[in-house]
Amino acid sequence: MFNRSEKHTARIDTLIGRSARVQGDIEFSGGLHIDGRVTGNVRAVPGAKASLSISEHGVIEGSVEAPQVVLNGSVSGDIIASDRVVLGTKARVRGNVSYGVIEMALGAEITGRLIPGGAPEEPAAAQAS
C-alpha cells in the first residue's frame, strides 16, 4: 500500500559542480542540483515548477525558497518549501524550515524551528491586527 522505496529523483536542468563557488543570489526554474558552494540566496521563480537538490558536498550560505527541496548537505539560512522537504542523513540546517510535507532521515540536524504550512510565520504584531 505504501511504497517506502519511492525515489525522490527530479529532472536536473542546472548543475553547480563540486568545485564551483557561486557568490550572489540564484533564481531558477526546473531542477537545480548543487554539489558546490553558494554564498547567497537560492530561490525558485514564483509560480514555476521547481525543485532544488543539494548533495552531501553542497553548501548554501543563505536562504532557500522552492516548492521542493531535497537536502543532504548544509544550509545556513531559512528553508521555505511550499510542497515538500526531504532531509537526508547528512543534512544540516541552521535556520527555520517551513514546509508542506517533511521527511527526515535519522541523522539529519536542524538548528531552528519547524514551521508547518510551507509559509513563514507572520510576526505576532501583524496577527493581532
10-residue block means of pLDDT along the chain (129 residues)? 48 92 96 97 94 97 97 98 96 97 96 83 48
Distance CA 42, CA 79 (A): 10
pLDDT recorded at residue 124: 46
User: Kindly report the CA angle at 59 between 15 and 45, in degrees rounded to 5?
Assistant: 55
The Cβ-side half-sphere exposure at 38, using a 13 Å CA radius, reads 29
pLDDT recorded at residue 5: 44
Strand 30-34 and strand 114-116: the pairing is: unpaired
Q: What are phi and psi of 126, to 5 degrees?
A: -70, -35
pLDDT recorded at residue 127: 47
pLDDT recorded at residue 12: 87
The Cβ-side half-sphere exposure at 94, using a 13 Å CA radius, reads 7
**Residue 104 to residues 19, 52, 60, 91, 121: CA-CA distances in angstroms?**
27, 16, 19, 9, 21
